Amino acid sequence: MTHKTLDLHVKEAARKIAWKIFFKINPSTAEKSDLDEWFISCKKIYKKTNKTSGVHYEFEDKIIDSDGLYKSLKRQLTVKTHSLSLQKLITELQSFCSDNNIMIIEADKNAGICIVRKIDYENEILRQLNDLNTYYPSTQTQFELAMIEFTDKVRCFDKSINATQKLSSLLPLNNYPAKFYILPKIHKPFEHFPKGRPISSTFQKFNKFPSKLLDFVLKPCINEIKDLLIDTQHFLLLLQEVQLQPGRKYTLVTIDIESLYTNLEVNDCRRHCINAYLNSHKQTGIKMNANQINQLISLSLGYNYVNFDDKWYIQHKGIEMGNAASVMVANITVYNELCNIFDSQAEISFYKRFLDDMFLIIDTTEIDDISEWLNTRVKHRYLKFTWEFSEESINFLDVTVKLQNNILHTELYSKPMSKHLFLHASSNHPSHLKNSLFFSQGLRIIRICSEYTTRLKCLVSLFVKFSERWYMDNVLYNTFIRLAQTKRQDTLRPKNKLLIEYLQVNDPFILGKYGQVENMRKFNNENDAVVVFPFLQHVHKYKHKVQYTIKQNVLKTIQNKWKRYVLDLNVHVVFSRTKNLKEMLR
């Protein structure tokens, strides 16, 4: 980290603290609609946009002297740059990769990193972009003309909705298409080069914020998607409630939708999203009619221009993988497209879906050939499916589900290529993170493994893996004893806000078992202010120094009548992730 990097983090921290104190001094100003809160969060992300209020920014300078804070922290924090030997190594590796046309990229499903030849990587990208079934060639002129049309439609949309903030104020100063790249699917068989998962990065794309707004507006609809799985914990909670009849024959089935995003019909997405929003019981602070939602969908899912190697393309089929609204749109569309298929089958005893992956328990007592049954029953006019089935065990998400005497058991599932290379004990990460890592991984095992003996076996294996990563054996042993005494039901208690809200609507009896219906935890504290700093391993009591220096600096510069607000403030320091090797080589 350089002094310039530290200065940027200090200025951002000063801005956050100033806003927090401003709203404490002026509580009526903090009372904003859901839409206003959304706009403020977006404008925090996009610093180049118009300021939300001149008052906040004028007040910022009165609250915190960011230059003084920077000088105070600079005196206490010795900022070390990379050693000359490491810098030389990185430079030499960059030159080696460049001279030999080698790339270091991430693999699909977080399976590791890939060292690939640049020509192979580019050929796979061009193979996909030259597929006329999904993409058409385009030009920069077409893109620029489309941007004029897009900007005009955003302004028309602003006039149609009753909101104090304007979506056009979030449009970037410069228009960029999506950046196209792939993640090699090394977990699947391949000969020369693995197929790549296509990603259209919309991080700097012109319709980034319209897409975020669509996702925000549709988010309340998630509770109306009856077949949805929120996460693994949700899956485990539901499996506990499954009661299979003795004497019946059951089969475990997993179904995968092939290339979901690129195969969805945009018109179907549009129709289902409009209906879902209008029928939603809980809507956001902004009310829209069908025409306004339709306009927003067009702004978000249209204009799918991508650029690669100065070549222009437009995606004319499906929706972008990487668009901020894609997951929500896909969930709503898939549910409405498939509900008639699965709800009408009396043989299905249990059915849930995690985006494009489905888990079913089918009563096959009267079914002679389950493969033939699936072929005839699970059909759709444009979505294609693959499936696996077993009468004994099957893998779904990170869980192995076993069926023994019509009783379900669960175990932890790890993919064969997983190396279990946990964070090394000497890594440049905060000590509290490394100290909690073994415990958090152990809780995951306890949560997933339904049998006590299986849990102990997996915990012992986990102990060995962490010991091989140079973690202290005495620390691991004390944590192991603590884990062995942890009750599984305690780890299944719902804590995630999204999961709790979904269960309240769809499965309130589950929350009743854990006492969560009436006593939901608070997720935000008005006295908490979170600031982000890069981690410096060599600085003793780093977090304490940052917290103390910020408070002292504010107390020096703020007016006496406002000091009590500062004393009540809890400054929490979190650390930004350290650059990995791939990022250093850019």
- pLDDT tens, position by position, 200-215: 888 778 888 999 999 9
Answer with the residue of higher pLDDT: 531 or 264: 264
Asked if 439 and 507 sit in the same domain, the reply is yes
Amino acid letter for position 201: S
Task: Check residue 56 and give its pLDDT.
Answer: 42
Express each pLDDT in 218-230 by its tens digit.
Answer: 998 999 999 999 9
Q: Could you give the CA distance from residue 408 to residue 492 in angstroms, rounded to a whole number?
A: 16
Query: Which tens digits make up the pLDDT trace of 229-248?
Result: 999 999 999 999 999 999 99
pLDDT of 14: 79
Sheet holding 385-390, edge to edge: 348-354, 357-363, 250-257, 385-390
Q: What percent of the chain has pLDDT over 70?
A: 88
Residue 236 lies inside a defined structural domain of this protein: no
In a domain, 566, yes or no: yes
**Residue 9 included in any domain:** yes
Which residue among 483, 514, 545 closes a domain?
A: 514
**Domains of the chain: total:** 2
For residue 275, give the nearest of 262, 296, 289, 295 by alpha carbon.
Answer: 289
Residue 501 sits in the same domain as residue 536: no
Cα 73 to Cα 195: distance, rounded to the nearest angstrom: 48
Rounded Cα–Cα distance for residues 164 and 492 (Å): 42
pLDDT for 69: 76
Task: Say yes or no: 537 and 505 in one domain.
Answer: no
Pick from 54-58, 60-64, 184-188 the range whose average pLDDT is largest: 184-188
Question: For position 79, what pLDDT does the model report?
Answer: 57
Residue 66 reports pLDDT greater than 80:
no
**What pLDDT shows up at residue 30?**
59
Question: Are 509 and 557 contained in the same domain?
Answer: no
In tens, the pLDDT along 288-308 reads 889 999 999 999 999 999 999
* Residue 436 within a domain: yes
- Shared domain for 503 and 532, answered yes or no, is no
> Is the pLDDT assigned to residue 29 strictly greater than 90?
no
Last residue of a domain, one of 514, 540, 566: 514
The highest-confidence range among 29-38, 67-76, 163-172, 189-198, by mean pLDDT, is 189-198
Could you tell me if residue 192 is inside a domain?
Answer: no
Tokens of 269: 């997405």
Residue 52: what pLDDT?
A: 42
Q: Strand 135-138 vs strand 399-404: parallel, antiparallel, or unpaired?
A: unpaired
Residues 107-123: what's their mean pLDDT?
Answer: 90
**Is 55 part of a structural domain of the chain?**
yes
Give residue-wise pLDDT tens across range 340-391: 898 888 899 999 999 999 999 999 999 999 999 999 999 999 999 999 999 9
The domain of 476 spans 431-514
List pLDDT tens digits, range 408-452: 999 999 988 887 888 899 887 888 888 899 999 999 999 999 999
Among 38-42, 120-124, 465-469, 485-489, the minimum mean pLDDT is found in 38-42
Instruction: Report the candidate in 150, 143, 149, 142 with the shortest Cα–Cα distance to residue 170.
Output: 150
- Kindly state whether residue 386 falls inside one of the protein's structural domains: no
The pair of structure tokens assigned to 261 is 């995003």
Q: Which of 514, 531, 546 is the last residue of a domain?
A: 514
pLDDT at 48 over 70: no
